[in-house]
Structure 1
């Protein structure tokens, strides 16, 4: 039996910051990372918040965008 079978996944929010517009023909190196995991007590019981960041850089290493997302497991 999978350990996550009874978990519910919720979208907790996301935001993006663009350093410049992304245009057709751009070549970007994109990376995603889990930056934090927190456990909090909600009204219906404990929940786990997973915060991820993803970012894209151009081929010169300049940041083009940064995204941050929260996923809630309960």
Structure 2
């Protein structure tokens, strides 16, 4: 179903690690470590700035992969992993994009399921990778039937 999408990539989109968004995100996940929002703590840290929580890139815009038309409902967020070269610094610009790494199907207790594996990246202004992530989107049999009509 999505095998023809493997290798396709989105356009790069500029995102900003905005201080208020980092604070709200840290509060929403219940991680109130002062390195995320206390400017004095950030200045005294080895990074000389506040940093974002490791899962903060979930809020970024990764652009559009042309031809990858997923429904807005019925998808299951599967596994996700992050790999960092360095932390995200509050105030910096990050250029984000995604690509389709793989698609496969498995038969399970709930019928035929699709597994779409996406890789996402965040680069600095010079093009150096700050982080990458791999996530799996599970597409249930019910959603697959709607998509194949």
- Measured against the shorter chain, the TM-score band is 0.7 to 0.9
Higher relative contact order (CA 8 A, sep 6+): 1
Q: How many residues align?
A: 70
Report the Cα offset of residue 13 of structure 1: 1.1
What root-mean-square deviation, in Å, do the aligned CA atoms of Structure 1 and Structure 2 show? 1.9
TM-score by length of 1: 0.82
CA-to-aligned-CA distance 1:5-36 (integer Å, 9 cap, x gap): 8x842121101111101111211110111211
User: Greater strand percent: which structure?
Assistant: 1
Does 2:77 match 1:14? no
Structure 1 unpaired stretches of 5+ = none
The one of 52, 57, 60 aligned to 2:118: 52
User: Greater helix percent: which structure?
Assistant: 2
Secondary structure of the structure 2 residue equivalent to 1:38: strand
CA-to-aligned-CA distance 1:15-69 (integer Å, 9 cap, x gap): 1111101111211110111211111111221000011111011111111000111
Moved over 2 A (4+): none
Find the counterpart in structure 2 of residue 27 from structure 1.
93
TM-score by length of 2: 0.43
Structure 2 unpaired stretches of 5+ = 1-69, 141-149
